[in-house]
């Protein structure tokens, strides 16, 4: 063939402009056509694309001046459940490659958007033009409409408000969501209801509906998740992967709700299993989900720990004395609850591995404490804070030569997409430094997407973070140019990030939190 959300028609796309009246002029106009049925739907869907979009007015053709702009425009149209739309490609390519370009874009979209991958049925497209200039007319079918997606998002918000309580950790939240799905959805023995809409509003669906619904609940609550396409006991099947406190686990809500449906019954036979545990009767393409490998057996209380830790916070950067600047990093921690708090602070180096420093302690009810990183001279990395109650606080990074200090807020969640809303990077005045940490057991591959002030995607660059490590990327050096606009960060693993503006002419520094993508 991958954050809460109502997918509405989005504004002007990166690298694209709207175009409706002019037609390309070619010395020779060539034509091509293709169609594609989503393999997930192949066993039950006979394509009849001729009727799709017949009553829908096509939107103005979107002109895309790069492959990445085309992929983004196609992704946006599909997320908006458009059934009839046109995209014009104007950049360097051969006419013979157009079919492959479309296939590549669809494959990358599916790999980055599990929800869409399990929601679009297929489509047909035809194109005309020549080398470097082609207009593609798309007709696409989906399991849900845009109006239904709005209903779904509204209902998801209502469910989460009802089942999640303040102070819950991710483990407790995920269990509450699993239980809600099992208790409120029955397996569709007629095998005709497949969508999340069926599961949510008709309360019956086959495995895709279960997996889509659990994914949407988890994703809307900020818990990373995947939808797995494979087989169960030799039959086509779908289930979920869920990320809990630095580990992935398989969850099959469908098989935890066996036929016949019994009111009030919840089973946990397929709840938080490792790869080896579920492999006895589930088969999937492990290479497709390699970044979400689940090698560890689940232990109840994984998000609590022996000291009752139920909350985890991250600071994506620390620095200590390098022998010249006299740098230091400290934490100011406040207990936000009216009961005593156990806490543990762990500092990890940029390359990962064992903690460089760990300290445990207690904070009185509604009390406060401070921590100063006691790590080897010149070390840099990231900090993990675990606690038995909700904490408030921040990190302070300072130095004496020259004297300066900046603060960095503690992050309570990990995400795979972020927005940096402002960039300032040029040759003479400012650096923009991204500081990110990866608490996972696998390396995180990063893609930085630079958008100018007009919202046009200008360029993309890649980076990586070692397993259990951190990175500090100078964006101007990475892109080799001045930057003014915004940046999107995409990661193959759940991470957290922060950006520091560093003045080249004054002893000034200012921070900007990376906002999770919605």
Most confident of 177-181, 308-312, 358-362, 511-515: 177-181
On the CB side of 85, CA atoms within 13 Å amount to 20
193: helix, coil or strand?
coil
User: pLDDT digit string (tens) for 330-345?
Assistant: 899 999 988 889 899 9
β strands within 115-224, DSSP E: 120-130, 133-142, 186-187, 204-205
Q: Can you tell me the distance from the alpha carbon of 182 to that of 256, in angstroms, rounded to the nearest whole number?
A: 7
Using CA atoms, how far residue 105 sits from 164, 254, 285, 297, 348, in Å, is 37, 31, 20, 36, 38
Q: Read off the DSSP letter of residue 240.
A: E
Task: Give domain 146-292's CATH architecture.
Answer: Roll (3.10)
Same fold, 146-292 and 415-516: no
396: helix, coil or strand?
strand
Task: Name beta bridge partners: 474.
Answer: 433
Q: Can you tell me the distance from the alpha carbon of 429 to that of 146, in angstroms, rounded to the nearest whole number?
A: 45
Q: What is the model's pLDDT at position 9?
A: 31
- Which residues are within 8 A (CB) of 158 and not within 5 positions of it... i.e. 6 or more apart? none
Using CA atoms, how far residue 248 sits from 289, 295, 465, in Å, is 11, 8, 18
52 phi and psi, to 5 degrees? Answer: -70, 140
CB 317 within 8 Å of CB 471: no
Look at residue 420 and tell me whether its pLDDT is greater than 80.
Answer: yes
Q: What is the model's pLDDT at position 272?
A: 95
CB 48 within 8 Å of CB 96: no
Q: Can you tell me the distance from the alpha carbon of 347 to that of 349, in angstroms, rounded to the nearest whole number?
A: 7
CB 398 within 8 Å of CB 462: no
Task: Give domain 311-409's CATH architecture.
Answer: Sandwich (2.60)
Look at residue 415 and tell me whether its pLDDT is greater than 90.
Answer: no
More confident residue, 305 or 100: 100
Mean pLDDT (the chain, rounded): 86
- Tell me the pTM: 0.65
Q: What is the model's pLDDT at position 55?
A: 47
> What integer is the mean pLDDT of 222-228?
95
**CATH domain 415-516 topology:** Hypothetical Protein Tm1070; Chain: A (2.60.290)
Q: Can you tell me the distance from the alpha carbon of 472 to that of 165, in angstroms, rounded to the nearest whole number?
A: 36
| Alpha carbon 201 to chain centroid, angstroms | 26
Q: What is the model's pLDDT at position 44?
A: 66
| Alpha carbon 431 to chain centroid, angstroms | 27
Look at residue 325 and tell me whether its pLDDT is greater than 60.
Answer: no
Question: What are the boundaries of each domain within the chain?
Answer: 16-142, 146-292, 311-409, 415-516
- Which residues are within 8 A (CB) of 141 and not within 5 positions of it... i.e. 6 or more apart? 45, 47, 49, 52, 83, 120, 121, 122, 123
Query: In 3D, which of 359, 248, 345 has the Cα closest to residue 302?
Result: 248
């Amino acid at each position: 063939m991958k954050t809460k959300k109502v997918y509405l028609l989005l504004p002007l796309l990166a690298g694209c402009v709207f175009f409706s009246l002019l037609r390309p002029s070619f010395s020779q106009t060539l034509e091509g056509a293709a169609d594609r049925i989503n393999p997930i739907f192949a066993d039950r869907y006979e394509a009849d694309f001729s009727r799709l979009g017949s009553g829908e007015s096509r939107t103005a053709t979107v002109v895309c001046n790069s492959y990445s702009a085309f992929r983004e425009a196609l992704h946006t149209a599909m997320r908006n459940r458009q059934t009839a739309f046109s995209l014009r490609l104007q950049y360097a390519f051969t006419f013979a490659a157009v079919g492959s370009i479309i296939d590549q874009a669809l494959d990358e979209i599916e790999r980055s958007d599990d929800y869409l991958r399990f929601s679009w049925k297929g489509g047909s497209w035809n194109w005309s033009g020549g080398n470097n200039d082609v207009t593609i007319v798309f007709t696409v079918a989906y399991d849900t409409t845009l109006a239904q997606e709005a209903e779904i998002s509204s209902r998801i918000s209502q469910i989460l408000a009802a089942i999640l309580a303040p102070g819950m950790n991710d483990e407790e939240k995920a269990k509450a969501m699993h239980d809600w799905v099992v208790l409120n959805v029955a397996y569709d023995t007629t095998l005709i209801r497949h969508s999340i809409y069926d599961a949510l509003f008709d309360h019956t669906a086959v495995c895709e509906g279960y997996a889509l619904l659990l994914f949407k609940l988890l994703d809307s609550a900020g818990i990373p998740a995947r939808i797995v396409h494979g087989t169960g006991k030799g039959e086509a099947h779908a289930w979920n992967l869920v990320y809990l406190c630095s580990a992935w686990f398989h969850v099959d809500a469908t098989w935890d709700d066996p036929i016949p449906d019994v009111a009030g019954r919840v089973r946990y036979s397929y709840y938080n299993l490792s790869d080896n545990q579920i492999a006895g009767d589930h088969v999937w393409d492990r290479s497709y989900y390699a970044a979400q490998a689940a090698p560890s057996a689940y232990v109840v209380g994984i998000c609590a720990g022996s000291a009752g830790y139920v909350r985890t916070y991250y600071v994506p950067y620390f620095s200590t004395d390098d022998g010249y600047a006299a740098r230091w990093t400290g934490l100011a921690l406040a207990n936000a609850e009216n009961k005593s708090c156990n806490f543990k602070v762990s500092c990890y180096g940029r390359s990962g591995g064992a903690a460089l420093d760990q300290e445990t302690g207690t904070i009185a009810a509604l009390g406060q404490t401070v921590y100063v990183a006691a790590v080897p001279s010149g070390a840099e990395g990231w900090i993990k804070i675990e606690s038995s109650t909700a904490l408030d606080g921040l990190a302070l990074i300072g130095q004496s030569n020259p004297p300066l200090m900046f603060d960095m807020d503690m992050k309570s969640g990990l995400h795979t997409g972020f927005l940096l809303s402002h960039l300032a990077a040029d040759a003479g005045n400012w650096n923009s430094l991204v500081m990110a940490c990866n608490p996972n057991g696998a390396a995180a591959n990063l893609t930085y997407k630079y958008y100018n002030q007009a919202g046009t995607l200008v360029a993309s660059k890649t980076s990586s973070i070692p397993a259990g490590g951190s990175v500090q990327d100078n964006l101007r050096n990475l892109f080799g140019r001045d930057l003014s606009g915004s940046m999107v960060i995409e990661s193959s693993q759940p991470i957290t990030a922060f950006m520091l503006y560093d003045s080249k002419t004054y002893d000034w520094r200012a921070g900007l939190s990376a906002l999770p993508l919605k």
